């Protein structure tokens, strides 16, 4: 039987020659992930099982990245619980303040997720790792507890839809714009419980940062997973990071897809998702006059070094508008260090931005940038639901780092081409 990429990976991990959409299967997992919000629940449920030890200490990863550095007593308690569990279980991959990063930036960077893996995480954006040709998906904390105990999960094999991108990208257009445009086209339920295979010459030429961004937001279209085929770009990223063997899977040429969508990227300009859904997308040039109060550049969606380079290119020689707070968050300690060595942090500080330690904080309205009533933010994060980043009467506009940085300078939603060369606000 011909199979899609998702089906190939699941069949192998289920010990079966083939699987088909709708089939319930039990599969082995390569990595189990939880963070400082979801791990305490998973740990409590794990302890109820009475098994004592996790199935494989090398395969369970805990990352304190949402409310860390701790913002209050409750979050301090959650992180303390994680520390105790990690020490008791002898988990080598417990990432705390000073070592941690945003989980979905950190794990690929450390070579903990590899092509062909099945990865489950107690975070919906675990689908990010599909950029590496892995089947990665988010699950509830109770399921994660069972995965930590047994190394196995069950699921229904999803149908696969294939989205093919062709044409030539316009200036300032990257992975964030492609996925926002796609979500705007198919809707937030357009890929509900499906796997998405991203393909075509455009994504073949896309760097890993753009692929991570697109896979990350597959869930915003309702997808179970979002996957890219492994190619030379993938291998170049993985080589030197991988500490264990991995296996590459490829979809059959005659694989059956639930739907195939063709996208001509030539007419796609930088995109902005207006409140309060990621599907509420329009081109930046058609945003109109939308004054803003805050810009956030970072997150598991756009906190990689390449994203910070784009932001720095826009901000260099310019100043953040006096009415705007601009918060820039490197996705990991390594990204922070690389940005420092390349002069990007200096560019941000000179522009009047604040640079944070790696954290998910503002994305979920946790800390480091919570919005007050009536405030508007342009953010490179992945969700703009009502109240997502703070007060229910605040507004979040999603964009890529180029539009976000340009908006920080302009004081309103702006296309980078609209800025005067090296203009400085006073």
Q: With a cut of 80, say whether residue 72 has pLDDT above it.
A: yes
Give me the numbers of helices (H) and strands (E) for the chain, helices first please: 14, 18
3-21: per-residue pLDDT in tens? 999 999 999 999 999 999 9
CB 282 within 8 A of CB 270: no
Domain 276-418, CATH: 3.30.499.10
Q: With a cut of 90, say whether residue 361 has pLDDT above it.
A: no
For residue 411, how many other CB atoms are within 10 A of its CB?
Answer: 17
Per the model's pLDDT, the better-predicted residue between 93 and 362 turns out to be 93
94-135: per-residue pLDDT in tens? 999 999 899 999 999 999 999 999 999 999 999 999 999 999
Q: With a cut of 70, say whether residue 424 has pLDDT above it.
A: no
CA distance 326 to 86: 35
Looking at residue 365, what is its pLDDT? 86
Mean pLDDT of the chain: 95
Q: What is the mean pLDDT of residues 28-52?
A: 95
CB 246 within 8 A of CB 238: yes
Structure tokens at 292: 């803003």
Measured CA to CA in angstroms, residue 192 lies from 183, 222, 236, 238, 328 at distances of 12, 4, 32, 30, 32
pTM above 0.85, yes or no: yes
Is residue 326 classed exposed, middle or buried when 0-12, 13-18 and 19+ CB atoms within 10 A define those classes? buried
Q: Which among 324, 319, 337, 300 has a CA at the least distance from the CA of 411?
A: 324
Q: What is the mean pLDDT of residues 55-60?
A: 97
DSSP codes, 402-417: HHHHHHHHHTB---GG
Q: What is the mean pLDDT of residues 135-155?
A: 96
Domain with CATH 3.30.499.10 in the chain: 5-263, 276-418
Q: Are strands 94-95 and 376-379 parallel, antiparallel or unpaired?
A: unpaired
Q: What is the mean pLDDT of residues 37-45?
A: 95
Looking at residue 422, what is its pLDDT? 59
The answer to whether domain 5-263 has CATH 3.30.499.10 is yes
CA distance 28 to 199: 27
Q: What is the mean pLDDT of residues 68-91?
A: 94
């Amino acid at each position: 039987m011909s199979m899609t990429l998702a089906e190939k990976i699941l069949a192998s991990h289920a010990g079966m020659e083939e699987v088909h959409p709708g089939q319930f299967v039990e599969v082995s997992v390569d990595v189990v992930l939880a963070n400082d919000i979801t791990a305490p629940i998973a740990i409590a449920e794990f302890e109820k099982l009475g098994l004592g030890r996790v199935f494989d200490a090398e395969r369970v990863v805990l990352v304190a990245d949402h409310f860390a550095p701790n913002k209050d007593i409750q979050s301090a308690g959650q992180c303390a619980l994680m520390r105790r569990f990690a020490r008791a279980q002898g988990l080598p991959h417990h990432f705390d303040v000073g070592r941690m990063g945003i989980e979905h930036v950190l794990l690929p960077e450390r070579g903990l997720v590899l092509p062909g893996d099945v990865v489950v995480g107690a975070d919906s954006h675990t689908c990010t790792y599909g950029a590496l040709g892995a089947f990665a998906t988010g699950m509830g904390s109770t399921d994660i507890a069972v995965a930590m105990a047994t190394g196995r999960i069950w699921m229904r094999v999803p149908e696969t839809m294939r989205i093919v991108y062709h044409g030539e990208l316009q200036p300032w257009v990257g992975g964030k714009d492609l996925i926002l445009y796609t979500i705007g086209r198919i809707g937030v339920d357009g890929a509900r419980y499906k796997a998405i295979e991203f393909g075509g010459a455009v994504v073949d030429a896309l760097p890993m940062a753009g692929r991570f961004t697109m896979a990350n937001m597959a869930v915003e279209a309702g997808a179970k997973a979002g996957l890219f085929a492994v190619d030379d770009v993938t291998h170049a990223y993985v080589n030197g990071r991988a500490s264990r063997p991995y296996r590459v899977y490829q979809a059959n040429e005659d694989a059956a897809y639930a739907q195939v969508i063709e996208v001509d990227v030539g007419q796609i300009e930088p995109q902005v998702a207006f409140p309060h859904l990621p599907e509420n997308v329009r081109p930046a040039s058609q945003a109109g006059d939308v004054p803003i109060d805050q810009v956030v550049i970072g997150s598991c969606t756009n906190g990689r070094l390449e994203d910070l380079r784009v932001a720095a290119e826009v901000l260099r020689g310019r100043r953040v508008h006096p009415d705007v707070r601009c918060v820039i968050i490197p996705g990991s300690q390594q990204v922070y260090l690389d940005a420092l060595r390349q002069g990007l942090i200096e560019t941000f500080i000179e522009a009047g931005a604040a640079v944070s330690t790696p954290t998910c904080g503002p994305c979920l309205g946790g800390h480091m940038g919570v919005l007050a009533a009536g405030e508007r933010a342009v953010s490179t994060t992945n969700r703009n639901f009502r109240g997502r980043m703070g007060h229910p009467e605040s507004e979040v506009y999603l964009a890529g780092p180029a539009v976000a940085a340009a908006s920080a300078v302009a004081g309103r939603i702006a296309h980078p081409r609209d800025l005067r060369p090296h203009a400085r606000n006073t």
